[in-house]
Amino acid sequence: MVKAIKDVHASGIVHRDIKPRNICISTNQNENGVTDLKLIDFGIAKSYRDDLGIHIPNSKGRKFCGTAEFTSFAAHNGSG
């Protein structure tokens, strides 16, 4: 799962709604005996880089979005 999150992040995207319901586990194993995991539901995902690849500054005081049970302390405090 960490690799899936890293791959999404390397593409310049922050998922913003990682929770058990948004993770799919394959019923099959690949040729190496590894079970595939998929990260789904990019409905509130957001790009964190601009067109030049520069990190977009974090904004503060924005309305919370996501699932409260799975969010960080920073997001609960309005700084995430």
Where does the pLDDT of residue 69 fall: very low under 50, low under 70, confident under 90, or very high at 90 and above? Answer: confident
Enclosing domain of residue 71: 2-76
Marked catalytic residue, from 7, 17, 36, 51:
17
Q: What is the CATH number of the domain that holds 25?
A: 1.10.510.10
Distance (Å) of CA 9 to CA 32, 37, 55, 64 = 25, 16, 12, 21
Q: Is the pLDDT of residue 5 over 80?
A: yes
- Looking at the structure of the chain, the number of domains it has is 1
Distance CA 46, CA 26 (A): 26
Give the per-residue pLDDT at 7. Answer: 92
Of 1 and 40, the structure prediction assigns the larger pLDDT to: 40
DSSP annotation of 55 reads: B
Mean pLDDT on 5-23: 91
17 an active-site residue? yes
DSSP 75: H
pLDDT tens per residue across span 22-64: 999 988 888 888 888 889 999 989 898 988 888 888 777 777 7
